[in-house]
Every structure is written in C-alpha cells, then in structure tokens.
Amino acid sequence: MYIKKILALILVLAFVLLPFQNVYATGKVFALNPDPVSSGMGDSGVALMSSYATGAALNPASTVGVYRTVATLAVSNITGNIQYDYASVAFLFLLGVFGASIMYVDYDTGDYLDNIGGTINNLGPSYDISAILNYSLPLKRFLPTFIDYGGFGASLKFIRSSLADYISEAVAFDFGGLVTIPTLKYLSLGFAIKNIGTYQKYVKEQFNLPQTLTFGLGFTYEDFYNVKVALDFNSMKDYEDYTCIG
C-alpha cells in the first residue's frame, strides 16, 4: 500500500504539471543525453543513481551508484549523416568515483555550397569533440546502520568545434547533487546545472552553450524488478523549458 501511494503521487504530479510545460528537444549537440537508461526513460532521471559511466552526462552526481570499474559506449545516427559517438569510463576509489568521457560528432557535410549552389572546394570538416572529466562523492553512513544519502558531483568539459575552416573552443562545468530521503527510503531528489562556461565563437559571432538547470524527483524499488520512476523539470537559458517523465 505504501509503494502504491508513492507511485500514485508521482503520476499525479506528472499529469498535473505536464500541461503547463512546453516539451522541447534542443538541437544543440552538447545538450544531448548519451545515457542508455535515461534515454529509455524519456531523458529523465536526474534524481536517480546510475551504474553507468554515461550517467554523469545527465547528472555529475549520479555516478555515486557506480560500485566497480565500468565502461560505456554509445553510438547513434542522429539524423541524415550526423554520427554521434560517446565513450565513458568510471573508476571507484576510496575518495569517490572518477570518470572520463569523450564525445565526437561527425557532421559528414560532403560538398559545401555557395549561395547559388556552386561547390566550394578545399574546406575543412565540420565536427564537435569534447573531453570530459567527472568526479562524484558519495555520502554514506555505515554505523550503527548503513544509510546511503546520495552525493554530489562535478564535471569539467573541454570543447572544440569545427565549422569548415572555422574553429571554436570552449570550457564548461556541470554541477549536480542527489539526495535520498531516509524517512522515505524509496524517494530521491536531484538537481544539475550544466554547461556553465565560456562562449563558442566563430569569427566575431558568439554563441551560448545550452545552459540547463534541472530539478527532479526519483522513485526506486529494488525488490520488484528494480523499478524506477523519474520526473524532471528542465529550465534552459536560451530555449524553452520542458518536462521529462519515465
């Protein structure tokens, strides 16, 4: 009965609040989610622990759920000839979980055309590449009984983008937290602030990275097929806010 009440509360919140949110999928590549579990849950899960290294892309604190060395590879074709690749590895140490990732997007533009449709020769490739370092610190108590409180995390991103012969470089940070509620052991709260850093600049024009603030509510019931339910609210600086549920 207790579990049913929690599930009912989460579903009611979702159906009440979703009509007031504009669901939005940004085309900005640095806002894409490579984590397979979160992707299968509609990109939700900022308040859930992850056993995958790619979980840090959604919330830098989510890798507090990693209990051994893990590696994850995500390969997908976004649309047309755009190839999106993301590889991650995470290591558990005494002082927390350390991770490293690399993201590469190949736009395979083929021929470049001018304003009248003519071919422009001798132009370089178009791509995005990012190297990411992640650290998460679990918060736990072992005595008199074991309690997992969640944790906090941060990621550092080094970004390089190429648009034909024009190069842009940027540095960005992600910060996140995840807190379980001891009195409601199945529930957790999470937040993430992503892509806080420098601008991307081509020649004279500057572009913001897709800065996002996310708050979420999670429910996990390991005794019944490890059921997970998540509800996230996303606020973007330059784009529409949106809600995810899964």
Residue by residue, DSSP assigns 114-130 as -TTSPEEPS----EEEE
Instruction: Pick the more confident residue, 132 or 209.
Output: 132
Tokens of 71: 């590696």
Q: What is the predicted pLDDT for the residue at 26?
A: 32
Q: What is the predicted pLDDT for the residue at 19?
A: 35
DSSP reduced 3-state for 95: coil
CA quadruple 33, 102, 166, 120: dihedral sign: negative
Element (H, E) at 225: none
How far is the C-alpha of 60 from the C-alpha of 36, rounded, in Å? 16
Are the CB atoms for 54 and 72 separated by under 8 Å?
yes
**Average pLDDT for residues 80-88, to the nearest whole number?**
85
How far is the C-alpha of 34 from the C-alpha of 63, rounded, in Å? 14
Are the CB atoms for 150 and 136 separated by under 8 Å?
no
Sheet holding 83-93, edge to edge: 70-77, 83-93, 96-106, 127-141, 147-163, 166-181, 184-197, 212-221, 227-236, 242-245
pLDDT grade for 16, boundaries at 50, 70 and 90: very low
In tens, the pLDDT along 136-172 reads 998 876 556 556 678 899 999 999 888 777 788 889 9
* Residue 39 CB-half CA count within 13 A: 13
pLDDT grade for 242, boundaries at 50, 70 and 90: confident
Residues 6+ apart with CB under 8 A from 20: none
How far is the C-alpha of 60 from the C-alpha of 166, rounded, in Å? 31
Instruction: Pick the more confident residue, 203 or 193.
Output: 193
The reply to whether the predicted model has a pTM over 0.75 is yes
Residues 6+ apart with CB under 8 A from 89: 53, 69, 70, 71, 72, 99, 100, 101
